[in-house]
Amino acid sequence: MKRYLYIIGVCILSVFTLRTQAQVTNGTYRALTDANSARVVALGGLPLPVHDGDLQTAVFNPSAISPEMNNQLTLSYVGDFNVGTNFATAQYSHTFDKVGSFAASVQYYNYGNMEYASESGYVDGGTFNVSDYAVTLGWGRELTDKWSIGANLKYAGVQYESGRAGALGVDVAATYWSYHNWAFTLAARNIGRQLFSVELNTLDKWLPYSVDFMASKRLDHLPLTIIMGYHDIQRWKVTYKDPLDLEGYYDPVTGEYTEPSKARQFVTNLGCHLLLGGELELGKNLVLRASYNYGIHHDMDVPTARTLVGFSAGFGVKIKAFQIDYARSRNNIVGSPNFLTIRMDLSKF
C-alpha cells in the first residue's frame, strides 16, 4: 500500500513541475477537453468522483475504472456541438485477474465541410474536411476499499485538409472514498505534446494540460449526490481582458481602462475555477442531473442578455440491460448541443 501511495505522490508532483508552456495552451488539441458522454456533460464535464461502475466516467477519470465495468460497451453521439459539428465515441472495458481493469475508447470529431477561399474572400466552390480524433487506453486498479488509482495513454490526431498532426499524452488520477459517503478525486489530464506535424507548423505543440480536484457527497437521508470541483489548479489567473469591452471598462472619451477592484478580480477568478452539480435518483431506473460552471458563463455570456450559459442538465433511464443517458449543455448564446449515450452490459445478453 505504501508503495502505491508513493507512486501516486511522485506522479502528482511531477505534473506540477511541467513546463509552463504546457499549462497555458488550449489550442490545437482542444477537443481532448470536451466531455464525451451525456452523464459527464450533465455534471459539468470534469473528472467525476464516483465509483458506481459506469464506463462513461473512465475517459476523464481513469481511477474510476473498476471490475464493475467488465464487458461494458458505451456509444455516445453529440449532435450539432457547434454549427455543423458532430462527434461520436465508443468505449469498451474488460478486467484481467491480478492485472487490473482496462478501458479503451475511440473519439471522432467531425467539423463538417469547409469552403476554400482566397485571402480576398473569393470562394471557388471547393470544400475540404476538418476533423479530430483520439484513441485512449485506460487502466485502473483498486488498492484498498478506500483507494483507487488509474492512468490513460492517449493518441490524439488532427486532419485539416491536407495537413495532419499527432500527439501523445497521458492522464493520471487517484480517488479516495470515506466511510461517510464522501469521495475525492485528483486528476492530471492531457500531459504530453505533439509528435509530428505535416503542413501544420503553426499548431500548438502542447496538449491542453489541466489538474482538477473533485469531491462528491451522497446525502444520508436523500438520494442526492452533490458534486463539487476546482479545476485548472495549475494556474490561478484564468480570466482575461475582453477586447470587445462588453462590460464597459474602457472610457469611450479618454480611452482609459478602469481596473475592477482587487476584491472583484479575486472573486471572479475564483468563481471561474469552481463547479457545482448534483445527481438525484428517482427510484432505481431514473436519475436527474444538473450542474453550473461559472467559468463557461464568464467566458461565453453576453452581459446585456440574460442567458443560461454555463448550465448543463440531463437524465438517465435504465431499461433492462440498457442505460440511456441524455444531456443538454449551454456552452454559448448560439446553441445547446444534445448528448446521447447508450450503455450496455454485454454479459447480460
Helix (H) or strand (E) holding 207: none
304 within some domain: yes
The percent of residues above 70 in pLDDT, for the chain, comes to 82
CA distance 211 to 234: 6
The pLDDT of residue 19: 43
56 within some domain: yes
Q: What is the mean pLDDT of the chain?
A: 84
267 within some domain: no
- Report, as an integer, the average pLDDT of 23-35: 71
Confidence of residue 16 (pLDDT cuts 50, 70, 90): very low
- Report, as an integer, the average pLDDT of 62-75: 95
- Report, as an integer, the average pLDDT of 322-327: 95
- Report, as an integer, the average pLDDT of 226-244: 84
The percent of residues above 90 in pLDDT, for the chain, comes to 50
Confidence of residue 41 (pLDDT cuts 50, 70, 90): very high
35 within some domain: yes
Q: How many CB atoms lie within 10 A of CB 297?
A: 18
Q: Which range (121-125, 205-209, 242-246, 312-316) has the least confidence?
A: 242-246
- Report, as an integer, the average pLDDT of 65-84: 85
Q: How many CB atoms lie within 10 A of CB 100?
A: 17
The pLDDT of residue 85: 75
The number of angstroms, rounded, from the C-alpha of 203 to the middle of its chain's C-alpha atoms is 21
Predicted TM-score of the model (pTM): 0.85
Q: Give tens-digit pLDDT for 125-135.
A: 778 788 899 99
Between 76 and 17, whose confidence is greater? 76
Confidence of residue 65 (pLDDT cuts 50, 70, 90): very high
The pLDDT of residue 257: 66
The pLDDT of residue 63: 95
Between 294 and 137, whose confidence is greater? 137
20 within some domain: yes
CA distance 159 to 12: 32
Q: Find out whether 343 and 36 touch, Cβ atoms under 8 Å.
A: no
Confidence of residue 23 (pLDDT cuts 50, 70, 90): very low
Domain count, the chain: 1
260 within some domain: no
The pLDDT of residue 333: 65
Whose cell is 431506473? That residue is: 285
243 within some domain: no
**Domain housing 108:** 2-238+273-348
pLDDT of 246 over the 60 cut: no
Q: Give tens-digit pLDDT for 75-107.
A: 999 876 555 677 899 999 999 988 889 999 999
Between 291 and 25, whose confidence is greater? 291
Question: Could you give the C-alpha distances from 304 to 68, 69, 297, in angstroms and in order?
Answer: 48, 46, 13
Give the CATH number, domain containing residue 194: 2.40.160.40
pLDDT of 162 over the 90 cut: no
173 within some domain: yes
**Exposed, middle or buried by CB within 10 Å (0-12, 13-18, 19+), for 136?**
buried
